[in-house]
Structure 1
Amino acid sequence: IRDIPSLLALAPWYGKKHRDNTLTMKRFSNGRGFWCLGGKAAKNYREKSVDVAGYDELAAFDEDIEQEGSPTFLGDKRIEGSVWPKSIRGSTPKVRGTCQIERAASESPHFMRFHVACPHCGEEQYLKFGDKETPFGLKWTPDDPSSVFYLCEHNACVIRQQELDFTDARYICEKTGIWTRDGILWFSSSGEEIEPPDSVTFHIWTAYSPFTTWVQIVKDWMKTKGDTGKRKTFVNTTLGETWEAKIGERPDAEVMAERKEHYSAPVPDRVAYLTAGIDSQLDRYEMRVWGWGPGEESWLIDRQIIMGRHDDEQTLLRVDEAINKTYTRRNGAEMSVSRICWDTGGIDPTIVYERSKKHGLFRVIPIKGASVYGKP
């Protein structure tokens, strides 16, 4: 009220003790009113007729309000008589499957995410936290939050927080493709202006906030290591996602060790072909060599972790050595790795391209992984 001139003009009682200015009710000079009530008491859902019902932190509401039913059903009954009824539901999410804001969001046919253009290639995307397996999202050197940057999911461009420009950013529905910049004018996926939809869900998280930094997000993430409670809070309050507890336990290490087969040579007799994959990180490369036999039976032959800056020539020379390493069969024959896929995600892809040319394009193949299961 204080900061909106049009509202302040309707509130002659502002800053004074007045019967129209209480903790739970504000009545304006144009006859309109604003109620601010607790969401857990059934009596607060009765007798009032309003145009807008707002639910702040809906996920924290009881699912059954004093045995009278759903809070949103009870509250939305208060707007049935309005010419222009509106139900607004906002919240930090909680546990997946039981979260009321998750349920409310699923009722809308439109799920809008805030897309911003990459300052380098111009491709639009919504910001994602990602993880060490995804080839996009927030990336940083281990134990150095200040090194954080965003890796563009389209062309692996390195984006700093201060480079993002939200001037032409827009909310795009991931289901239908409709979009809006201001919530007033709406457009179809082809750019034609359309009528505003009856119901929409908007999602946004801390990476867009002008009140925090990506450095702080990384620091908060690092604090959650080994602490399920902190990790849950981070997922809910920073990422704005529901928390899903992991079910099941890891197999006992000793039981797994008992299943191990022993071979008299680095390469088992049934292996006919060797392939490898190289994962790229800012501070290391990880390579795994696999042997393949009849029926696509496979064996892990070797695993190497090559520490060092990803763009340092000495590090890359050690990767060259790993690529050219040979492996011995029981009969003394040497086998080299015939095909290697080298991940270009997370680093400057030209490094991999140049190394591929050096070793042969059909032997060392640059690839870019996908975060979707089954996608090549």
Structure 2
Amino acid sequence: MPDRLPGSQWAEGRLVLNEKDSPEPGPLRLSRTPYLREPLDCFADENVSEITIEAGTQLGKTLFSFACLGYAIDQDPGTCLYVMPDEQTAKKVLKTRIVPLIHSSPDLRRHLAGQRSDISEVRLDFDRMFVFSAWAQSPASLASFPCRYVILDELDKYPRWSGREADPAALAEERTKNYWNRKIIRVSTPTTLGGLIHRYYRHSDRRRYWVPCPRCGAFQVLVWQQVKWDHGERLERIKELGLAWYECEHCQERIEDSHKPGMLERGVWAPAGCTVANDGSLKGEPEGGSHPGFHLSSLYSPWVKFGDAAFTFLDASHDPAKLMNFVNSWLAEVWQEKIDEVDDEGIRALRRPYKLGRVPKEAVVLTAGADVQADRAYYVVRAWGYGETSWLVDYGLLYDDDAERIAELGGSPKSCLDKLPIRKAYPVDGTDEVMPIALWCIDARHRTDEVYLFARKHRDIVRSIMGSPTDLKGGLYYASKVDRNQKTGGALKGSQMIWHIDTVRFKDRINRLRTEQPPVWFLSDDVDADYLQHITAEEKVIERNSRGRARPVYTLRPGHERNDWWDCEVYATCAADMRGVPHLQPQNERPRKVQVKAQSWIPRKKGWVR
């Protein structure tokens, strides 16, 4: 076999678009969509096993999937599974788009064996490979045979699970595990933060397409904030007369629709952590990522004018459903409706001049929370007074010992759990007394068995917890038993308990407490920048599923990567609730029991209970 061609070179020379499926029939020319060249070359690269494309509409992302399939048929054959969201779409795409493309491209058509059975509703037979059409709603179609290639088209329209099986994308990808040279292609318009395509893109090297300004030559990523229009114009005129433009973020000059083809042709893909110099070279260091990932909004589309985007946005601005579609399908961004924004300066203003490691004399109880990770544990200790007033007393980060090094020194290595100050008593300001921690809540999502054993060892003051992914229907938490009879499945007497907590409601409570006036939620002046980064890492947003159903969730804010001490604060607050802190009252303010006497109007009759 002759040397294989680069992906983009093969696509331009061998793929022929038909007039029924393309507004520009004939041999494919990537001069209109030059941003597809690098993704296609990645597909042909034997060192690349995964590609993720998070993109808007009218950009050619489905054409990219078809080109990858064609390249496999002609240049690097292997059984392929092409997955669509549902059965009807899968069969329609195969019949009306893929099959006509194969017939119109001689280099693909020649690989058909010439039998009538070569083409069916769900399978294409070629001389060196098969192409199977599958749909996300059918576990059988996803898991029936091994394959080298998997193409996941419109990934965010897949159901989260397929019948009783796991995530359909994971089911399909499982088919490739026996192939050392496997390739998995994920292509979709994003939906929400919980959508699959955005999750995979975040774990990629997160490339963006930088284009030069035709005026000053400075490279930039096209973003919605730079699209401008005359706000006095009617919607229809903005669209019909093209009265919108793009403003260069460097020189503030106008960039018109007519400039776009030249800008796209000179564009450069740059991974996260890099920028593009005026000569088109990359500057900076890539931030990593497991595989190539590409993000592209419809602002780059050669078929979309800036006026079209402005019209669509203005038409959708007062309709959340339409606005969500604009953000997803045009900007290729995830949809978020913010409920509560974090006031960074307001959090810093809660610092007070007291020392960490000491308990304010107004406190009456200590609780703590710990977040356990693969090789470390974060923890927080908080003191509570009346009216849910609280003070941060201690926080820290503990690592597992290096077992090999400790063994060489003749010692016994300790885990991060062993190092937690479980039974530490903290000195109380202005007294000779010390105060022990009343209750710990420790997250058991990671190293679950270790946390269970540790909680069993310290069951008098430690509870293992897990955040619940669903609403607890009014409850803040509930307990279930861990230890089960292997024969009957029934809970064993004295079984270890796991507490499921509603983390959203406890985060709501902390946000309420730290915004109350006068302040009731305090930090020490001794806290460092890392702690402040963690406790301001999340904001509350509305997440909507594909049917528009909304639910509140907390998500990481841009620029924040860690939220472990924030989680610890949540767990310490949960422990305080379990210890009845919200109901604590000073002795002289506790309500007295009032004995109700029989009133004079009640007649005294024989047989009445007095």
Q: Which of the numbers 2, 11, 16 marks the counterpart of 2:112?
A: 11
Say if 2:206 and 2:289, in contact at 8 Å, map to a contact too. no
Q: Which of the numbers 230, 241, 262 marks the counterpart of 1:141?
A: 230
Deviation at 1:171, TM superposition (A): 1.0
Deviation at 1:247, TM superposition (A): 2.2
Instruction: Write out aligned runs for 1:282-297 (5 A).
Output: none
The aligned residue for residue 121 of structure 2 is 23
Say if 1:149 and 1:160, in contact at 8 Å, map to a contact too. yes
- Give the distance between the partners of 1:158 and 1:57, measured in 2 at CA: 34
Deviation at 1:102, TM superposition (A): 1.2
- Give the distance between the partners of 1:197 and 1:224, measured in 2 at CA: 35
The aligned residue for residue 472 of structure 2 is none
Instruction: Write out aligned runs for 1:1-376 (5 A).
Output: 1-11=102-112, 13=114, 18-29=116-127, 31-96=128-193, 98-108=194-204, 110-130=205-225, 137-142=226-231, 143=233, 144-145=237-238, 146-164=242-260, 165=262, 166-175=264-273, 189=283, 199-247=291-339
Say if 1:111 and 1:201, in contact at 8 Å, map to a contact too. yes
CA RMSD of the aligned region, Å? 2.9
Deviation at 1:138, TM superposition (A): 0.7
Instruction: Give the 3-state SS of the residue equivalent to 1:19 in structure 2.
Output: helix
The aligned residue for residue 471 of structure 2 is none
- Give the distance between the partners of 1:23 and 1:128, measured in 2 at CA: 41
Say if 1:207 and 1:214, in contact at 8 Å, map to a contact too. yes
Change (3 A) 1:125 1:177: closer
- Give the distance between the partners of 2:299 and 2:282, measured in 1 at CA: 27
Structure 1, unmatched stretches of 5+, are 131-136, 180-186, 250-371
- Give the distance between the partners of 1:176 and 1:51, measured in 2 at CA: 33
Deviation at 1:92, TM superposition (A): 1.1
Instruction: Give the 3-state SS of the residue equivalent to 1:230 in structure 2.
Output: helix
Change (3 A) 1:12 1:141: farther
Deviation at 1:248, TM superposition (A): 6.2
Instruction: Give the 3-state SS of the residue equivalent to 2:150 in structure 1.
Output: strand
Read off the aligned partner of 1:169 and give its amino acid letter.
Answer: G
Change (3 A) 1:236 1:62: same
- Give the distance between the partners of 1:224 and 1:125, measured in 2 at CA: 27
Change (3 A) 1:2 1:215: farther
- Give the distance between the partners of 1:128 and 1:211, measured in 2 at CA: 17
The aligned residue for residue 356 of structure 1 is none
Say if 1:111 and 1:175, in contact at 8 Å, map to a contact too. no
Change (3 A) 1:155 1:188: closer
- Give the distance between the partners of 2:213 and 2:282, measured in 1 at CA: 22
- Give the distance between the partners of 2:133 and 2:112, measured in 1 at CA: 16
Say if 1:93 and 1:242, in contact at 8 Å, map to a contact too. yes
**CA deviation profile, 1:305-332 (whole Å, cap 9, x unmatched):** xxxxxxxxxxxxxxxxxxxxxxxxxxxx
Say if 2:246 and 2:306, in contact at 8 Å, map to a contact too. no
Change (3 A) 1:197 1:229: closer
- Give the distance between the partners of 1:243 and 1:88, measured in 2 at CA: 23
Say if 1:10 and 1:28, in contact at 8 Å, map to a contact too. yes
Instruction: Give the 3-state SS of the residue equivalent to 1:174 in structure 2.
Output: coil
- Give the distance between the partners of 1:3 and 1:247, measured in 2 at CA: 52
**CA deviation profile, 1:325-365 (whole Å, cap 9, x unmatched):** xxxxxxxxxxxxxxxxxxxxxxxxxxxxxxxxxxxxxxxxx
Change (3 A) 1:188 1:154: closer
- Give the distance between the partners of 1:49 and 1:153, measured in 2 at CA: 49
Instruction: Give the 3-state SS of the residue equivalent to 1:83 in structure 2.
Output: coil
Deviation at 1:244, TM superposition (A): 0.6
- Give the distance between the partners of 1:168 and 1:225, measured in 2 at CA: 33
- Give the distance between the partners of 1:35 and 1:89, measured in 2 at CA: 16
Choose 1 or 2 for highest CA Rg: 2
Change (3 A) 1:122 1:188: closer
Change (3 A) 1:177 1:27: farther
Structure 2, unmatched stretches of 5+, are 1-101, 342-557, 560-610
The percentage of aligned residue pairs carrying the same residue is 23
Change (3 A) 1:52 1:175: farther
Deviation at 1:177, TM superposition (A): 5.8
Say if 2:188 and 2:197, in contact at 8 Å, map to a contact too. yes
Deviation at 1:175, TM superposition (A): 3.0
Q: Structure 1 residues 98-107 or 1-10, which shifts more?
A: 1-10
Change (3 A) 1:178 1:71: farther
- Give the distance between the partners of 2:282 and 2:168, measured in 1 at CA: 33
Deviation at 1:69, TM superposition (A): 1.1
Change (3 A) 1:88 1:157: same
Say if 2:139 and 2:163, in contact at 8 Å, map to a contact too. yes
**CA deviation profile, 1:197-239 (whole Å, cap 9, x unmatched):** 8512111111111222221111111111311111111111111
Say if 2:268 and 2:276, in contact at 8 Å, map to a contact too. no
Instruction: Give the 3-state SS of the residue equivalent to 1:163 in structure 2.
Output: helix
**CA deviation profile, 1:111-157 (whole Å, cap 9, x unmatched):** 01111111111111111111xxxxxx111101352221111111212
Deviation at 1:107, TM superposition (A): 2.1
The runs of 4+ residues in structure 1 deviating greater than 6 Å are none
**CA deviation profile, 1:52-74 (whole Å, cap 9, x unmatched):** 11111111111122222122321
- Give the distance between the partners of 2:282 and 2:243, measured in 1 at CA: 39
- Give the distance between the partners of 1:237 and 1:214, measured in 2 at CA: 15
Change (3 A) 1:3 1:217: farther
**CA deviation profile, 1:48-97 (whole Å, cap 9, x unmatched):** 2212111111111111222221223211111112231111111111122x
The aligned residue for residue 48 of structure 2 is none
